């Protein structure tokens, strides 16, 4: 799918790395040719943004399933797919297949499994998977408990200049827990683990990252103590980044009160103090990016007692709206909001996308930031609508989407 004619999107608010400016953007041959005070040229197709946002397409870093309709609804043009597939992405042939699977209207960037079968013991052939299209190596939903294996992984990835995406929960402490230890877990009688399970995992992996010189992205950091560790490591100039999903800055463990399995997540929902700490970390830059964690689960996985339900949520469609809520709450400004969901993930993956910069890929979303809508799980475009935000009124919708200058 190639752009046949130049396209000029005009009369909008450009979301640039430097801020929001009124103007237009011109797309030629799938790239951003000019932006700012741009006048359409003869032969250009012209689209009028009517004052809405002209923003980069979202880059969703860390999804577990590819749902094109859901991604397009949410303005996502690129997605980093975690290796937890059936079978796992631990062979070059599987990575190569996935890297081609979404084109032309969605680019999927597969993450290589860090270990064979994601078992946490033997390293996978990461170099061969990089050649096949992997943009990083990932531990998946699990933490690698063997420190020697983790160190070798980080050294291997550093030699290849690949980022490692890590899950941060000490598996031996978490065990079969489905909630964070505290008053809510006690009241509900749910098996729980202390929030320190995240802190311990982060402490070890940060130390190994500094030892190896590897680039490490902690996919979800959800506790005040864990965020303090990340903040301190960044002050030492460690090559680490941190992410989170909207559930952990929007909801606390109070959302589990009625045993609603849509709130069964990994890591589990935390205390209100931890939720506030996440919002503070987003505001001060400790958290670098926000991902949907898109992991749709059907009724066979969710219509079960809370402790038996599978973790995960359908997050692609609600990602942008929840992040725009941070703008309305004055936690971040608009430019920073789009850096969290587009610019920073693109930089981690090493792709020329996620920002309105001349020469970058023409992945563009037109966004009405004030358009009201209600999240309804039964009407979601995802293969399953298991969202903890079901029934929640929100604002902000994508009104048009372009991949490589071509309307999706």
Q: What is the pLDDT of residues 98-144, one digit of tens each?
A: 999 888 999 999 999 999 999 999 999 999 999 999 999 999 999 99
Show the tokens assigned to 296: 């749709």
Residue 246 lies in a domain: yes
Please tell me the predicted confidence (pLDDT) of residue 175. 94
Residue 46 lies in a domain: no
Residue 75 lies in a domain: yes
Q: How many angstroms separate the CA atoms of 380 and 303, rounded?
A: 17
Please tell me the predicted confidence (pLDDT) of residue 91. 97
Please tell me the predicted confidence (pLDDT) of residue 102. 86
Enumerate residues 6+ apart whose C-beta is below 8 A from 228: none
Tens of pLDDT along 258-267? 898 999 999 9
**Which position has the token pair 């725009």?**
324
| Helix residue ranges, H only, 83-146 | 92-101, 126-131
Please tell me the predicted confidence (pLDDT) of residue 1. 67
Average pLDDT of the residues of the chain: 96
Most distant CA atoms of the chain, gap in Å? 68
Residue 96 lies in a domain: yes
Segments forming the whole domain that contains residue 325: 58-354+374-394
Strand partners, 45: 7
Mean pLDDT of 68-93: 96
Residue 16 lies in a domain: no
Residue 42 lies in a domain: no
Q: Count each helix (H run) and each strand (E run) in the chain, helices first.
A: 14, 19
Strand partners, 183: none
Beta strand 393-403 with 406-407 is antiparallel
CB 190, CB 306: distance < 8 Å = yes
Q: What angle do CA 314, 86, 218 make, to 5 degrees?
A: 55
Lowest mean pLDDT among 86-95, 222-231, 378-387: 378-387
Tens of pLDDT along 357-402? 999 999 999 999 999 999 999 899 888 888 999 999 999 999 999 9
Sequence-ordered strand ranges (E) for 53-207: 53-56, 58-63, 76-81, 107-110, 112-113, 137-138, 164-166, 179-180, 192-193
200: enclosing H helix or E strand: helix 196-212
Residue 32 lies in a domain: no
pTM, entire model? 0.95
Q: How many angstroms separate the CA atoms of 340 and 62, rounded?
A: 13
Share of the chain above pLDDT 70, in %: 100
Mean pLDDT of 159-163: 97
CATH number, position 109: 3.20.20.140
> 3-state class of 224 per DSSP?
helix
Tens of pLDDT along 257-313? 989 899 999 999 999 999 999 999 999 999 999 999 999 998 889 999 999 999 999
The tally of domains found in the chain comes to 1
Please tell me the predicted confidence (pLDDT) of residue 383. 85
Please say if the pLDDT value at position 62 is more than 80.
yes
Strand partners, 78: 59, 107
Residue 382 lies in a domain: yes
Beta strand 137-138 with 164-166 is parallel
Please tell me the predicted confidence (pLDDT) of residue 2. 85
CA atoms within 13 A on the CB side of 334: 18
Enumerate residues 6+ apart whose C-beta is below 8 A from 14: 20, 21, 22, 23, 24, 25, 35, 36, 54, 356
């Amino acid at each position: 799918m190639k752009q046949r004619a130049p396209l000029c999107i005009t009369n909008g608010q450009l979301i640039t790395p430097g801020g929001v400016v009124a103007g237009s953007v011109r797309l030629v041959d799938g790239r951003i040719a000019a932006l700012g005070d741009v006048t359409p040229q003869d032969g250009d197709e012209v689209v009028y943004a009517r004052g809405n946002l002209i923003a980069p397409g979202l880059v969703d870093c860390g999804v577990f399933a590819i749902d094109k309709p859901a991604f397009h609804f949410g303005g996502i043009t690129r997605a980093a797919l975690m290796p937890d597939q059936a079978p796992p992405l631990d062979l070059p042939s599987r990575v190569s297949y996935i890297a081609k699977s979404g084109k032309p209207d969605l680019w999927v960037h597969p993450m290589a499994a860090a270990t064979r079968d994601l078992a946490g013991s033997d390293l996978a052939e990461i170099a061969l998977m990089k050649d096949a299209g992997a943009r990083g190596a990932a531990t998946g939903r699990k933490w690698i408990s063997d420190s020697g294996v983790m160190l070798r992984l980080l050294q291997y990835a550093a030699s290849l200049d690949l980022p490692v995406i890590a899950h941060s929960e000490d598996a031996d402490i978490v065990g079969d827990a489905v909630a964070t230890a505290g008053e809510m877990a006690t009241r509900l009688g749910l098996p729980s683990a202390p929030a320190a399970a995240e802190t311990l995992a982060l402490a070890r992996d940060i130390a190994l990252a500094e030892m190896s010189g590897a680039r490490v992205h902690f996919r979800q950091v959800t506790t005040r103590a864990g965020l303090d560790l990340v903040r301190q490591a960044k002050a030492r100039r460690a090559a680490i980044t941190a992410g989170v999903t909207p559930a952990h800055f929007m909801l606390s463990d109070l959302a589990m009160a009625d045993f609603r399995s849509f709130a069964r997540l990994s890591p589990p929902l935390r205390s209100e103090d931890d939720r506030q700490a996440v919002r503070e970390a987003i505001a001060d830059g400790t958290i670098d990016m926000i991902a949907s964690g898109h992991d749709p689960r059907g009724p066979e996985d969710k219509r079960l007692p809370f402790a038996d339900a599978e973790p995960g949520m359908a997050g692609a469609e609600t990602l942008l709206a929840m992040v725009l809520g941070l703008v309305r709450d004055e936690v971040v400004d608009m430019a920073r909001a789009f850096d969290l969901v587009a610019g920073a993930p693109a930089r981690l993956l090493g792709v020329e996308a996620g920002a309105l910069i001349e020469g970058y890929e023409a992945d563009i979303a037109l966004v009405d930031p004030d358009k009201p809508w209600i999240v309804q799980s039964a009407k979601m475009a995802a293969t399953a609508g298991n969202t903890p935000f079901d029934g929640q009124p929100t604002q902000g919708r994508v009104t048009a989407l372009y991949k490589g200058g071509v309307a999706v």
